[in-house]
Amino acid sequence: MIDTYINIEKAHKELDQHLKDVGVNKLVLKDIQSPKQIKLVVTSLGKYGDTKKNLSDLESANKPFPTLIVVNEDEFSQTVDLIQNPQIELISSSSKLEEVAARVHALVGDGESEILEFKDLTINLKTYEAKAGEVLLDLTFMEYELLKFFVENQENVWSREDLLEKVWGYDYFGGARTVDVHVRRLRAKLGDKRKDWIKTVHSVGYKFN
Q: State the 10-residue block means of pLDDT for the chain, 209 residues long.
A: 91 89 90 89 94 92 87 73 79 87 81 76 85 92 92 90 82 72 96 95 93
* CA torsion through residues 44, 50, 52, 57, sign: negative
Q: Domain locations in the chain?
A: 2-111, 140-208
Cβ neighbours of residue 67 under 8 Å, at least 6 residues apart? 40, 41, 42, 43, 51, 87, 88, 89, 107
The class that CATH gives domain 2-111 is alpha beta
What is d(CA 43, CA 38) in angstroms, rounded to the nearest whole number? 13
Predicted model pTM: 0.53
Q: CB of 51 within 8 A of CB of 29?
A: no
Q: What is the CATH number of domain 140-208?
A: 1.10.10.10
SS3 192: coil
At 112 the pLDDT is 46
